[in-house]
Structure 1
Amino acid sequence: MNALTLEAFTAQSLDEGFDEIIVREWDAHLKLDTHTHPFDVSAHVVRGEYWLTLGEQIQHLKAGDNFRLARDVPHAELYGPEGATVWVARAN
């Protein structure tokens, strides 16, 4: 199995029209209450786990998972006991 590299994630994201790539390190047990972002997101979880809440839906994301989130969509985040590392592509 070939693991996704940051270089491959970056190249794919730029090809898809995202214009900013960042690596986010989130602390263990961090809770972010409902908020929005002024950009579209495509992300890949590299380490750890967290729960992404969109309305009544809760998505449990773990290392190896990908997700997308449109700009201005209200959501909340809760990070697990190890925190998480997430590669994030933004379309500003």
Structure 2
Amino acid sequence: MTPDQFAQALMGEGFEPAVTIAREPGGRLDEHTHPFEARALILAGEIGIASAGAERVYRAGDVFHLLAETPHTEWYGAEGVRYLVGRRDPAQS
């Protein structure tokens, strides 16, 4: 799936317009939540996400999906990560 196709699919599902996020190499965010649902397409690098006792690493071409208020930690690979993400208010789901 291309970034344009991903962004169009998000819009069709009621997500806000997608934005590109870049995170620094070797960075980390401790456990936190978001007040929105998020779906992201990894464009470059890698991101690890741990939630509910499970952890997974996502790389270019992978998609991750987090529901609103899901506690999670995240960390970024040696090259950082760049991803295209759409957000959706949980009331819109």
Q: What is the one-letter code of the residue matched to 2:38?
A: V
Q: Which runs of 5+ in 1 are unaligned?
A: none
**How far apart are the structure 2 equivalents of 1:60 and 1:20?**
25
How far apart are 1:21 and its partner, in Å? 1.3
RMSD of the TM alignment (CA)?
1.0
Q: Which residue matches 1:77?
A: 74
**How far apart are the structure 2 equivalents of 1:20 and 1:13?**
8
- Please tell me whether the aligned partners of residues 39 and 64 of structure 2 are also in contact (alpha carbons under 8 angstroms): yes
**How far apart are the structure 1 equivalents of 2:2 and 2:24?**
22
- Please tell me whether the aligned partners of residues 49 and 73 of structure 2 are also in contact (alpha carbons under 8 angstroms): yes
Q: What is the one-letter code of the residue matched to 2:71?
A: P
TM-score by length of 2: 0.90
1:24 aligns with 2:24: no
Give 4+ residue runs of structure 1 displaced > 4 Å after superposition: none
Other structure's SS at 1:20 match: coil
Query: What is the total number of aligned residue pairs between the two structures?
Result: 89
Q: Which runs of 5+ in 2 are unaligned?
A: none
Percentage identity across paired residues of the two chains:
33
- Please tell me whether the aligned partners of residues 3 and 41 of structure 2 are also in contact (alpha carbons under 8 angstroms): no
Q: Which residue matches 1:51?
A: 48
Q: Which residue matches 2:9?
A: 12
How far apart are 1:49 and its partner, in Å? 0.7
How far apart are 1:17 and its partner, in Å? 1.1
